[in-house]
Structure formats: C-alpha cells, structure tokens
Homo-oligomer: A and B are copies of this chain.
Amino acid sequence: MKVIDGGVLAAKGFKASGVHCGIRKNKDKLDIALIYSEKRCSAAATYTKNLVKGAPLVVTKNHISDGYAQAIICNSGNANTCNINGMDIANETCKLLANKLGIKENDIVIASTGVIGQEMDIKPFEIGVPMLVDALDKGTSEEANLAIMTTDTKQKTIAVEFEIDGVKCHIGGIAKGSGMINPNMATMLVFITTDCNISPKLLQKTLSEDILDTFNMVSVDGDTSTNDMVTVLANGMAGNKEIDEKTLPEFAKALNMVTKTLCKMIAADGEGASRSLTCSLSGAKTKDQARKIAKSVISSNLLKCAIFGSDANWGRVLCAIGYTLEDIDVLKIDVAFRSSKGTIPVCKNGLGVPFSEEIAKEILLEKDIFIDVNLNSGSYSAEAFGCDLTYEYVKINGDYRS
C-alpha cells in the first residue's frame, strides 16, 4: 500500500467540483461541493447519534437504504438543521441535481455543515447545482475539500493505492472537522471514494467496524454535532473480483489508513488547536474499556489546557481515567508523555515518579503529543485523537455566527 495524491479523485471514474453559490456572504469562499461517479456505486454511511439530526442526514439515510448511490452534494455555511424548511431544501436540491446529472434522486447523498437553526433559501442551490455539474470535467478534489470547510484552517485529504488479488485499487477521502467534534457512531463530514468492487453490505460492515477505532475516537470539544456523516462510495471500476471475506482484510486495512489519517488531521486542526494529542492506551481488560478510557483522557478540558501550556500535569490524566468509572486498578497505572523529542515516564503504579520538568517541557513543546497509558490489567489497547484547548478555540466559538 502506498500513499498517493488525488484525494477523492484517486479512484477511477470519480469527478469532483466546488463552487461559490451564495450560501456564504464571502464570495471568495467556495460553499458547495459535488463528488460524482461515472458508475453507480455501492454506498455505505454512518451518521451522528445526536437525536437532533440535520435534514440532509434523514434524506441521505432514506436514499441509500437500497445500498447504492452515485453522487454526493454538500454545502457549508448552513447546517440545514432545526430550520422550518430543512426537508424541502434537501429534497429540492437532490431533485435539481438528479435532473442536471441525469441520475435518480435516490442515488444522491446530501450533507450540510454550518450554523444550526437558520432558514435556507433554495436560490443558491438553483444557481450552484448547474455550476457544480458544469465544473466537473475540470474540477479537483481540492475544490470540493475547500467548499466543505467551515472553521477548518487546513484541507484534510489522503489517498492510497493497494492491490487486491493483483489488481490495483484506490481509496481516497476528504474531510471537514474543526469544532462540535465528538462523534458518536459517525463523525464530522467525511467523503470517501474507491474504485474497488465491493457489495453494499460488506462495505457498510467494514465502515461500521472501522469507525469504532477511528472517527468515534476523535474529540475536539466533546460536542457531538447534529450533522456528522461518513460516506463511502465504491464504483468497482478498478476491475477487481468482488471483495469477499478472504480479500476483505486488504480492503479494510487500506480504508483504515485513509480514515485514521483523516482522524489525525481533524484532531490536529481542531478549532484553535496548537497541538495534536493522541492517547495510546494499553493493558485494558476489554476493547470497549480501552476505547472509553483513551477517549476520556483526550477529552479532558483540564488536560487539554495543560498540553496547551506544555505542562506535564499527569494528575489530570489519572483524574480523567478515574471518572470513566471503569473497573480498573488505579495502583497499576503507568503514564508517560511522548513526542519526537523523547518519552518521559511521569507515573508508575498510580503514583508519581520524579522527573525533570525541563525535559518534560521540551517534549511537550512539540506539535504532536502522545500520552502513553498502560493499565497493566489486560491485553486490549486503543488510540484516541484530540487537540489542546486554546484561547483561539474560545475566540472562534465566542462569535461563530457572525
């Protein structure tokens, strides 16, 4: 498997575009994106567990209930959630796009991100849909990526090439993250394309298992959005024999490379983040325990502030482990801080060990910080992905709607 360029266009038979259609005031900001496959695709998706769900999620879930889709349309600037005309806007947009592309309405995945609770106008979509379709031939994955971004400061994209039974296959994805990020059963907006030949059922199963260790292990601020969605479209144009249980591990591994990379990008570009934070947890009694504790650690506001201040305040790690109420033996816990500058053990058997504050500071001044926790009580491990809590996060979210 190797990492390649191309994002959602790395897989054969996909096109993409992004344009400004007027949902956002700033004319320089692309605000609507399209991803299109020449051939109808096996489709899989996971959605937010938040009971307040955006209208686009309801429409998408209905559309791909048959396991197939051919295009993804997504706007930023308005979440199309908790507004009176949400379903009308989502359905009408699909109708406009289906007509222009000459495909069926229920082969369209639709998503939105932005402010919740603001009424939408269909006009920008009437303008944007034809522009998007006309731009497909020359459009890029980057344009689609830029169009779905909100407070993101960086594009999040990755693609890989790998082989199944000797046939070259590709998976690529784009994502938007930044704030209101604490996915539960799905996440943020992530669009993944592949030219693999895989059945809708197996695609959904693989995605649903993958997110347990990827998108569900990311937290920027503990707030689970109303519009989280991960979608994979697989058009089979790589020409491989349809993936079965035997070849599935290769596919799952490549998918995981894409999803995990996007997770890390989302965490590192969390709103206001100056550092990415990974909790690498081992020695848990169960997989579920490992995930729960790792996520609790990277979600602690206090620890996130300490990391912002490069302060090796490991008591906050133990505190965050303790309030999961998981069945653990506190007096077996080891904790170390790690970065490219080295590793420093700070807690052994639940108690502090002497360490050099200077070396700890040097380690914690790096961009990518790892918190290694060993519960020494079992053989399960998990990773969780977060970021520090900064002045900038507060600033961004103090006046998001303006």
| A-to-B contact residues, CB < 8 Å | 49-53, 79, 81-84, 115-119, 179-180, 182, 184, 221-226, 299-302, 305-306, 308-309, 311, 313-316, 318-326, 328, 330, 346-347, 350-352, 389-391, 393-402
Q: Report the minimum CB–CB distance from A391 to chain B (whole Å).
A: 5
Q: Is the CB of B225 within 8 A of A222?
A: no
Alpha-carbon separation in the docked complex, A308 to B351 (Å): 37
Whether the pair B52, A321 counts as a contact (CB closer than 8 A) is: yes
Instruction: Assess whether A302 is in contact with B51, with CB atoms less than 8 Å apart.
Output: no
Q: Closest chain B residue to A352 by CB distance?
A: B117
Q: How far apart sit A342 and B326, CA to CA, in the bound complex (Å)?
A: 44
Partner of A305 from the list B115, B300, B398 (CB cut-off 8 Å) is: B398
Specify which of B116, B299, B346, B399 is in contact with A319 (CB 8 Å cutoff). Answer: B116
Determine the chain B residues whose CB is within 8 A of the CB of A320 once the complex forms.
Answer: 223
The chain B residue with its CB closest to the CB of A182 is B323
Q: Is the interface of A mostly helix, strand, loop or mixed?
A: loop
User: In chain B, what residue has the closest Cβ to A331?
Assistant: B82
- Are B117 and A322 in contact (CB-based, < 8 A)? no
Among B82, B389, B396, B399, contact of A350 (Cβ-Cβ < 8 Å): B82
| Contact between chains at B184 and A323 (CB < 8 Å) | yes
Asked if A400 and B226 make an inter-chain contact with CB atoms under 8 angstroms apart, the answer reads no
B residues in contact with A226, CB < 8 Å: 315, 318-319, 322
CA distance A51 to B375 in the complex (A): 13
Q: A117-B351, A117-B352 known; A309 and B180 CB under 8 Å?
A: no
Protomer copies: 2
Of B223, B225, B318, B399, the contact of A52 (CB 8 Å cutoff): B318
A226 to chain B: closest residue by CB = B319
Chain B minimum-CB-distance residue to A179: B302
Asked if B311 and A222 make an inter-chain contact with CB atoms under 8 angstroms apart, the answer reads no
6 pairs of A and B residues whose beta carbons are closest in the complex? A116-B315, A309-B398, A52-B322, A305-B397, A117-B352, A224-B323
Known A-B contacts A351-B117, A390-B394; A301 and B84 likewise in contact (beta carbons under 8 Å): no
CA distance A398 to B117 in the complex (A): 34
Which residue on B lies nearest to A354, using beta carbons? B119
Chain B nearest CB, measured from A392 CB (Å): 9
Q: How far is the CB of A222 from chain B (nearest CB, A)?
A: 6
Choice from B49, B300, B350, B395 contacting A223 with Cβ under 8 Å? B300
| Beta-carbon contact of B347 and A117 below 8 Å | yes
- A398-B306 contact, Cβ under 8 Å, with A300-B223, A347-B82, A351-B84: yes
- Give Cα A397 to B394, complex, Å: 14
- Supplied contacts A51-B325, A116-B316, A222-B299, 13 more A-B pairs, CB within 8 Å: A51-B322, A52-B321, A84-B352, A116-B319, A118-B352, A221-B302, A223-B302, A223-B319, A301-B393, A305-B394, A309-B398, A309-B400, A393-B394
Residue among B50, B318, B397 making CB contact with A309, cutoff 8 Å: B397
List B contacts of A302 (CB < 8 A): 179-180, 221, 223, 397, 400
Q: Chain B contacts of A224 at CB under 8 A?
A: 319, 322-323
Interface contact B50-A322, CB-CB below 8 Å: yes
Q: Judge whether A117 and B315 touch: CB under 8 Å.
A: yes
Tell me the complex Cα distance, A316–B302, Å.
22
